[in-house]
Structure 1
Amino acid sequence: MTMSTTGVSARTGGAAHTGTRVPSIAVRHQPEPDSSSSAAKALALLSCFSPHHPAMGVSEIARRAQLPKSTAHRLLAVLVDWEMVTKRGTEYSPGARLTELAALTAQPDSQDLRRIALPHLLDLYEMTHETVNLCVLVGNDVRYVDQIHGHQAVSSPACVGARLPAANTAVGKALLAFSGDEVVARASDRLRPATSSSVASPTQLARELAAIRHTGIAYDRQETKPGLTCVAAPIRSWSGGVVAALSISGPVHRFRPADAAPAIRAVAASVAKLTQEARWQRHLPR
């Protein structure tokens, strides 16, 4: 098995892979930028990229950023020079420099979490041969910190670095269930259903979160993408809160999430214990 910490690949019998090479930038609601600021306009261009739209032409980018095409073209040329954006043919996508900057945003705690969780992610993959994810909560979204998948993995908006609405995902609901009331209220006020099966009302979300608190297991029943299902469990903190969540996802015709629920619950508990011990050891006198 070969492993590294970012953009990597970990192999088990030549089948499992971790990480992705290019981070995705989630589109999210932001304050209106100062129209006179070139920096704000450049950020608006970068914010157009997402797991659903990893590469686009200048016309589409200009439309999404609500900028004149000539302005978008000029700023994209600057971003290409700085390797923030890559141009292939007529399409633009996130560049190598963004990958480097994304690596710098990983806090030590996040790196520790990945290091501790990785062997357990591999165990879950070996049990199921389906995609295994490690996620944290960022605002109303979940961010995918690590991922292992095989050659049979189906297309999904979830990839390392991606951010998806928490209420649409099993990992997100697992995280929300053990978060504070203010966090849950904010997520409830800003629901963004992705499919006809997604959580569509605060009442429905509250009911699901109550069930998750009781069972310790969350499900995504084609709520992120039609045909894709998922099971998740929270990684709890010593105080009863939550630091991250694990999930296993696969196509509905092949993967039965309820069958994997006991395993993912047990693995999440093991990772939680190791994480708590690691944090305690960091505070020991040296």
Structure 2
Amino acid sequence: MANVSPIERTLDIIELLADHPGGLAVSDIARRLRLPKSIAHRLLSILADRDFAIQDPITQHYRLAVRTAALGLRFFGHIRLNEVCQPLLNRLAQRTGEFVRVCAAENGELVWIASAQGSSEGLRYDPTMGAGPTLYATANGRAWLSTLTDADALAQIRRKGFILPRNYAGSLVTSEQQLLDELKQIRERRYAVSADESVIGITAFAAPIPDREDGPALGCVSVAGPSVRMPASRGGEIMPDLLAAAKELGEIWPIPNWKKLV
């Protein structure tokens, strides 16, 4: 960690706390991020002084402040992503009766930005909007990777390796060759499938959101639900609506201001 800058370490702390709304002790943060406790405390103090983090007066645990989330919401408000996505997601969720999510691609990562629940009774899949999907181990991740060249897809994976987050159940892809074989199939059928991988008992179908300039996908849209209700055969039933939603999202996805100036 010696070559990691304080700014990078601070961002690591923000990402960690985003997944722990109840807060974490300084010692726990230091252990998880492999930081000296003194450095973790100093960076947390800076975040707290700037109102990006709050320390509970009783537990002494640190959590993110509402201001941090508000910045993200303010950004989404400016680029209108939620406004664009939500009506389409609501419609897709209603038609499929399952949980629908959209993630956006940025700097080789996928970030959840919106969701809609279509199941009104019985078994429901209703995850929190936590960290974005792991690229090689999820339907969304593999759908997005399939829009890259093989070389670029492998380069994205090699940044972190085949290492699963702690809360993931497993992955059918564990090597570069397996990934390339899977991406070839996804390109042929135009969608990706993940069954009992990131979450046991959950199956997801995902389609890439096409870029109007024929670049890598802007993100992905997915339909997920309990595996007992989502066998592979249901893909044929869901796919027309899923692919249509992905195409429509690509057509109306807002263009960033910097791209308008090019």
State TM-score, norm by structure 2.
Answer: 0.77
For residues 169 and 138 of structure 1, do their structure 2 counterparts lie closer, same or farther at Cα, with a shift above 3 Å needed?
farther
For residues 44 and 246 of structure 1, do their structure 2 counterparts lie closer, same or farther at Cα, with a shift above 3 Å needed?
closer
Letter in 1 for 2:138: T
Alignment equivalent of 1:196, drawn from 147, 160, 170:
170
Letter in 1 for 2:155: R
CA deviations 1:79-120 (Å, max 9, x no partner) are 234321233442322221211332355596xx3444333211
Identical residues among aligned pairs (%): 27
Letter in 2 for 1:137: A
Taking the aligned partners of 2:195 and 2:2, their CA distance within structure 1 comes to 33
On the 8 A contact 1:140/1:186 being kept in 2, the answer is no
Alignment equivalent of 2:210, drawn from 229, 232, 236:
236
Aligned to 1:154: 125
Taking the aligned partners of 1:206 and 1:181, their CA distance within structure 2 comes to 7
2:238 is the counterpart of 1:263: no
2:64 is the counterpart of 1:94: yes
The alpha carbon displacement at 1:208 in A equals: 1.3
Decide which moves more: 114-123 or 203-212: 114-123
Q: Any stretches of 5+ residues in structure 2 without a counterpart?
A: none
On the 8 A contact 1:232/1:261 being kept in 2, the answer is no
2:41 is the counterpart of 1:66: no
Aligned to 2:153: 184
Taking the aligned partners of 1:129 and 1:80, their CA distance within structure 2 comes to 42
For residues 155 and 170 of structure 1, do their structure 2 counterparts lie closer, same or farther at Cα, with a shift above 3 Å needed?
same
Taking the aligned partners of 1:43 and 1:116, their CA distance within structure 2 comes to 28
Aligned to 2:3: 32
Secondary structure in structure 1 of the residue aligned to 2:244:
helix
Taking the aligned partners of 1:271 and 1:46, their CA distance within structure 2 comes to 30
Aligned to 2:97: 129
On the 8 A contact 2:209/2:249 being kept in 1, the answer is yes
The alpha carbon displacement at 1:33 in A equals: 2.2
For residues 40 and 170 of structure 1, do their structure 2 counterparts lie closer, same or farther at Cα, with a shift above 3 Å needed?
closer
Secondary structure in structure 2 of the residue aligned to 1:134:
strand
Secondary structure in structure 1 of the residue aligned to 2:148:
coil
State TM-score, norm by structure 1.
Answer: 0.71
The alpha carbon displacement at 1:144 in A equals: 0.9
On the 8 A contact 1:136/1:175 being kept in 2, the answer is no
On the 8 A contact 1:198/1:223 being kept in 2, the answer is yes
Taking the aligned partners of 2:210 and 2:229, their CA distance within structure 1 comes to 29
CA deviations 1:119-175 (Å, max 9, x no partner) are 11110111233221111223443111212236765363x616x32321122111111
> Normalized per residue, which structure has more helix?
2
Secondary structure in structure 2 of the residue aligned to 1:48:
helix
Taking the aligned partners of 1:155 and 1:87, their CA distance within structure 2 comes to 29
2:189 is the counterpart of 1:215: yes
On the 8 A contact 2:90/2:117 being kept in 1, the answer is no
Taking the aligned partners of 1:224 and 1:232, their CA distance within structure 2 comes to 14
For residues 79 and 263 of structure 1, do their structure 2 counterparts lie closer, same or farther at Cα, with a shift above 3 Å needed?
same
Secondary structure in structure 2 of the residue aligned to 1:163:
coil
CA deviations 1:27-70 (Å, max 9, x no partner) are xxx88324xx5x5554443343353x443222211212333435
Taking the aligned partners of 2:82 and 2:138, their CA distance within structure 1 comes to 20
After superposition, the CA RMSD in angstroms is 3.2
Letter in 1 for 2:110: V
For residues 105 and 182 of structure 1, do their structure 2 counterparts lie closer, same or farther at Cα, with a shift above 3 Å needed?
farther
Aligned to 1:103: 73
Taking the aligned partners of 2:109 and 2:162, their CA distance within structure 1 comes to 10
